[in-house]
Amino acid sequence: MKIRGERECKNCGTRWSYYETGETACPDCGSLRSVAVDDERRRHTDSPAEIDLTPHRSALGDGADLVDVAEGIESDCRAYLRKRGFIRKGELLPLDDTFLAVQELRAALADYRRAERVGGDRSVPDRDAAEGYLLDLVQGADSGERPAPAEVPEALAPARGLAYATAIGAYREDVATYLDDEPDEDARRLLGRIRDQQKRLDALGGDLPPETVESLVRACRDLERYLNGEEGALATARQRLDELD
């Protein structure tokens, strides 16, 4: 949506930025009666969002099993992801590591919990490696630490692929919205190619090599850099997508 996000409270005169807080109520007195003090409406899809996995890390450190804390972690991940977008105050943001890592953690834990319910130890190939990888995600996802593609266990590669397809789909929708306001036919065509690769990844259940999936993430980031003024990034994105075709 397009909004005038700089607000002034009609009750106490406090000024604040909805772009920064995501709150319609006055931060000082709580009043919902305010007026815009900026003239221009700007596209805004990103709400302030934080995720802190410290309580879950503490529980694991105290001896809790991963499967016992997984549901709570997934809930925190979903709450964070629901608030996130990629246009802030009219500016396009990159597809960031925290969004990707949290999306992967949510998806991988859901798969892991389902497998544990079905068959226990025998249901997850190389269970120790899978658990170790999930614990690494819990340790760093909320600060944007993503394991490298080479570190992804084979059993969890499809979960990563599907999670990234979901993330790329959300990002692609916001880029399309951004291009409605800032038309660029070269970018629009490139976005169509990203869509095709994302749909392919979805259709395969995420089961592509993590290095291949990472190339699609990088193409999204190249596109953002191009749209924010780095002309050469368009050619880089095209080359990445050519290699994926």
Judged by DSSP in three states, 87 sits in strand
Judged by DSSP in three states, 1 sits in coil
Residue type, position 202, single letter = D
Mind listing the pLDDT tens digit of every residue in the chain (245 residues)?
687 778 888 898 888 788 888 788 888 988 888 898 887 888 989 988 999 999 999 999 999 999 999 999 999 999 999 999 999 999 999 999 999 999 999 999 998 888 877 655 445 567 788 899 999 999 999 999 999 999 999 989 999 999 999 999 999 999 999 999 999 999 999 999 999 999 999 999 999 999 999 999 999 999 999 999 999 999 999 999 999 98
CA distance 133 to 79: 22
* CB 108, CB 73: distance < 8 Å: no
Q: What pLDDT shows up at residue 120?
A: 53
* CB 170, CB 210: distance < 8 Å: no
CA distance 163 to 29: 41
Please, which residues bridge with residue 2 across strands? 43
Q: What pLDDT shows up at residue 149?
A: 97
b/e string for 179-199 if b means 16 or more Cβ within 10 A? Answer: beeeeeeebeebbebbeebbe
Q: What are phi and psi of 35, to 5 degrees?
A: -130, 150
Please, which residues bridge with residue 87 across strands? 92
Query: Domain spans of the chain?
Result: 2-43, 54-244
* Cα–Cα nearest to 108, from 220, 195, 210: 210
Question: Can you read off the two tokens belonging to residue 192?
Answer: 């169509």
Q: What pLDDT shows up at residue 126?
A: 76
Q: What is the DSSP string of 3-54?
A: E--EEEETTT--EEEHHHH--SS-TTT----EEE--S--EE--PPP-----H
Q: What is the pLDDT of residues 106-160, one digit of tens each?
A: 999 998 888 877 655 445 567 788 899 999 999 999 999 999 999 999 989 999 9
Q: What pLDDT shows up at residue 122?
A: 47
Q: What pLDDT shows up at residue 17?
A: 83
CA distance 91 to 122: 48
CATH of domain 2-43: 2.20.28
Percent composition of the chain: helix, strand, coil (DSSP 3-state, to 5): 65, 5, 30
